[in-house]
Amino acid sequence: MISLNRASLRYGPILGLSPTSFELPDGGGITGLLGPNGAGKSSLLQLLSGLLPPSGGEVRVFGEAPFRNPAVLARLGLVPEGDRLPTGLRADRWLRMMGELSGLSGEALNAAVASALATVGMADRAHLTFTRMSKGMRQRIRLAQALMHGPELLILDEPFNGLDPEARLTLMALLRSLAEKGTRILVSSHILGEIAQLTDRILLLFRGRLLAEGSVTEIRQLLDRHPVELRLTGEAQVLARWAVEQPELAALRVEDGAVVISVRSPREILPRLQKAAAEGGIPLQALDPLDLNLDAVFQYLTKDHA
Amino acid sequence: MSTAIPTPLATIRATARGYLPRVFQGRGWVLAALVMVPVGLSLLIYTVAQIKGAGDSHPHPGEVLKIFHEVLVKMMLPIMALVAAPAGIREDMEQRTLALMLVRPAPVWALPLGKGLPWFFWGAAWLVLGTLGLQVIGGDPALLPGRLVALVSAWWGELALMTLVGLFFKRGTLWGALYFFLWEPLVRIFPPILQRLTFTHHIESLAGSRAAEVGTSQLLAQEQVSTHPALACLALLAFGVLCWALAGWKLHRTPLGLAGSEAEG
């Protein structure tokens, strides 16, 4: 569905995106595009949505270059960052225009507008002008305009910004539901928790470079030299004695009566730990991985490339 | 859902209809006032004079000629273009909402015209109304059709020009103002070939020259040339079409991102 071959983007002398290559397969699913502000997320999304042509390399969406390509644009929807909408217009009329610009007409257009408004929960407030809408309402309308023509690829740039917790959950549920129905969704965020809640498949960008691609676990496995922290709760002295004998141990400290160990290759040490605990060799009461989450992966990767 | 690629005509129609409500808001009424305030004031003065039975209350074609050429053509028409054009496609660029239209399969080149048409028709309606209002004061009925065609076709050309300038320059309004208020007045001293490169020349060819009315301080430095009215009208309309086409081409060719600024493609 999406393929980048050393695609790059420059804004004059500034490099927005270094030569980047990756592919996303056909079919539904959610892919998170993760990176801090200025990482190149919006640049990448602008290349994919056909707003900008690559400065170098090649971008293919549905097998074609997307820039000013109606055949590609008819099949994708974009929700850009922010809540900007044209001033002085009513939401329902503006959506009708957007539908017509997407090639809808007649009954299909009426149905699409009604369906998109219902999907985002704005059917009863669509007669309002944008200036009278809250940020969250405008965000929903922006989502509706991207959904109304039934895109196969939905691109969302920081869609959770400015949404209250309830609206976030609603949007996440909606995105999951669309993905289950076969829509490929690419969603960017600089907040790790949002992406982690939404999907396990991520593209990690930093300073215009694609650092990693895959699931959180897969990316974690790329980082063998970065130890994983495990918190072992039990009799600290005995646990520490057992831990220092392990060849994978990188560091050890005692915190609040628990032993926190940093180990390389956790997949090797964990079975031994479980076996020792099961056989009564160590008094282990609880085992918590401290940093096997997206935040830790993100910090490790970005620290390396800073 | 199956969608068809919108035709250019469907794109223009959809955009014009979608943005039509904008002309009924503040900027649209400013546009109306630009035409109707001078005409309305003239009407008021004329009516008051008539009620008081003043000696000069009779219809005055010379006054009409002055208001038409000095106020409407020379001042209000350019200001209308300078006010309306930024509300066209330039507005979406500055509000950063253009991306929402550019990611549609509709032909991008048709968007400037689609957004400009409501402003053109709105402005044209007021110009027609204003010109008709001048007839009450005593405009020459024989000159009325020429004046109407001159104002509407010049409005078409000037609005298109300002839209184009707004797409080429960040400070399009400034460049437009310089053109209208520095270049156009030079028509009085231009040689014939350069006179034809002004709106004023074509408007006067259509609406009738005011040369007979100029005072000694306004003597022409060069011989005033005239173009056949049909050709002048065609020139204004064709110039407008050319500007809309160039604006469409510029928008189509320019990679405009989410920030509304260009990237190096």
Q: For residue B7, list chain A residues with Cβ-Cβ distance below 8 A.
A: none
> Domain residues of chain B, as ranges?
8-256
Q: Which residues pair with A7 in a beta bridge?
A: A20
**pLDDT tens for each residue of A188-197:** 988 777 888 8
Q: With helix as H, strand as E and coil as C, how does chain B read?
A: CCCCCCCHHHHHHHHHHHHHHHHHCHHHHHHHHHHHHHHHHHHHHHHHHHHHCCCCCCCCHHHHHHHHHHHHHHHHHHHHHHHHHHHCHHHHHHCCCHHHHHCCCCCHHHHHHHHHHHHHHHHHHHHHHHHHHHHHHCCCHHHHHHHHHHHHHHHHHHHHHHHHHHHHCCCHHHHHHHHHHHHHHHHHCCCHHHHCCCHHHHHHHHHCCCHHHCCHHHCCCCCCCCCCHHHHHHHHHHHHHHHHHHHHHHHHHCCECCCCCECEC
Of the pLDDT bands very low, low, confident and very high (cuts 50, 70, 90), residue A272 is confident
Closest alpha carbon to A94 in A109, A81, A80, A74? A109
**Among A102-116, A283-297, B242-256, the least confident range:** A283-297
Among A54, A80, A103, beta carbon nearest to B5: A103
Judge: A10–B255 Cβ closer than 8 Å, yes or no. Answer: no
The mean pLDDT value for A204-209 works out to: 80
Judge: A86–B95 Cβ closer than 8 Å, yes or no. Answer: yes
Judge: B100–A145 Cβ closer than 8 Å, yes or no. Answer: yes
Query: Phi-psi region for residue A277, left (φ > 0), alpha (ψ -120 to 50) or beta?
Result: alpha
Q: What is the pTM of this model?
A: 0.83
* Angstroms from A118 CA to nearest CA on chain B: 17
Q: For chain A, give the mean pLDDT.
A: 85
Predicted pLDDT at B246: 97
Closest alpha carbon to B149 in B83, B112, B101, B204? B204
Q: For residue A89, list chain B residues with Cβ-Cβ distance below 8 A.
A: 18-19, 21-22
Predicted pLDDT at B218: 54
Q: What percent of chain B has pLDDT over 90?
A: 56
Count interface pairs A-B at CB distance under 8 A.
131
Predicted pLDDT at B162: 96
**pLDDT tens for each residue of A31-58:** 998 887 778 888 899 999 999 999 999 9
* Angstroms from B102 CA to nearest CA on chain A: 7
Pick from A37, A101, A113 the residue to mutate for testing the B interface (most B CBs within 10 Å): A101
Minimal Cα distance from A54: which residue of B? B265
Q: What percent of chain A has pLDDT over 90?
A: 32
* Euclidean distance between CA atoms B2 and A150, whole angstroms: 8
Task: Look up residue A142 and give its two tokens.
Answer: 């922006």
Predicted pLDDT at B263: 45
Predicted pLDDT at A50: 92
Of the pLDDT bands very low, low, confident and very high (cuts 50, 70, 90), residue B10 is very high
Residue with tokens 């081409």: B249
The CA–CA distances, whole Å, from B46 to B66, B130, B142 equal: 14, 15, 21
Of the pLDDT bands very low, low, confident and very high (cuts 50, 70, 90), residue A220 is low
The mean pLDDT value for A159-177 works out to: 84
Pick from B253, B258, B261 the residue to mutate for testing the A interface (most A CBs within 10 Å): B258
**pLDDT tens for each residue of B13-71:** 999 999 999 999 999 999 999 999 999 998 888 888 878 776 555 667 777 888 888 88
**pLDDT tens for each residue of B115-151:** 999 999 999 999 999 999 988 888 788 889 999 999 9
Q: For residue A76, list chain B residues with Cβ-Cβ distance below 8 A.
A: 103
Predicted pLDDT at A158: 87
Q: For residue A97, list chain B residues with Cβ-Cβ distance below 8 A.
A: 14-15, 17-19
pLDDT above 50 (res B265): no
Of the pLDDT bands very low, low, confident and very high (cuts 50, 70, 90), residue A292 is low
Predicted pLDDT at A160: 85
pLDDT above 90 (res A145): yes
Predicted pLDDT at B37: 93
Judge: B108–A86 Cβ closer than 8 Å, yes or no. Answer: no
Q: For residue B10, list chain A residues with Cβ-Cβ distance below 8 A.
A: 100, 105
The mean pLDDT value for A83-111 works out to: 93
Judge: B97–A100 Cβ closer than 8 Å, yes or no. Answer: no
Residue A41 near chain B (CB below 8 Å): no
